[in-house]
Amino acid sequence: MRLKDKRALVTGGARGRRRALALGLGGEGAGGSGAIGRAIALGLAGEGADVAVNYRRSRGDAESAVREIEEMGRRAVSVQGSTASRADVDRFVAEAHGFLGGLDILVNNAGILKRTPLLEISEEEWDAILDVNLKGYFLVGQAVGLRMVEDRTPGAIVNVSSAGQAAAGPNLTHYCVSKAGVGMLTKQMALELAPHRIRVNAIAPGLIETDMNRADIAQDDFREGRLARIPLRRIGTPDDVVGAVVYLASNDEARLVTGASLFVDAGQMV
């Protein structure tokens, strides 16, 4: 119960549906955002936190996550809205803050991915990826940061990035650029929020198996090609990410950690 009675907001915490298949160094894989977000929301609750689960379209899945959290004896609420919209963000952050009575933890997790060759990326597709993956983290981080400052809450913000923030991947220009931006955004937020006792860190997962990329991982050629670039020769699950988030969210265990990116990638970056 390392997060007992803490109040958390997790964006993109409903289910694994929103990412297209990620290959190479692109990150968690299809549906990684929702699958990882849901695992994080349940993991925080398992450590004693009350949780607001943000979703965009998957209301049923968000409410299912809420029920699971409530079964653990914790309070939970689903809050709908696009992280790329200032109006939506202000509304659902206010809803989460009001229901929980404050916010101690934010996990920026909502994200999208589409694999497209550099020369074929349209302006619309570029904007869509950057709006959710980078602008969304800024908007939600700023909105929650303001609440924490107003409440004088010594908070913790964890940005879910990707191994793609540090290494290029084929046909993933917009995705990798957005995640590289998350890495620097994390440092900037950490620097400017430190005087308010708010720590900001990122986790950068490697290949994480979810429902939507499981069939590809089951193919021998695909699996061996990926494992050949992973020193530990292990492909993760959403639960493998939870421990890193819990650690970074804990003001007791990670009180000296801010502005860092923790790679959860089985040595992929080595």
Clarify whether 137 is annotated catalytic: no
Query: Hey, is 134 helix, strand or coil?
Result: helix
Give the C-alpha separation, 9 to 41, whole Å: 8
Give the C-alpha separation, 21 to 58, whole Å: 19
Q: Which amino acid is at 71?
A: E
Give the C-alpha separation, 34 to 10, whole Å: 10
Give the C-alpha separation, 162 to 265, whole Å: 9
Active-site position among 55, 137, 175, 247: 175
Task: Calculate helix-pair angle for 136-151, 86-100, nearest 10 degrees.
Answer: 40
Q: Could you list the active site residues?
A: 175
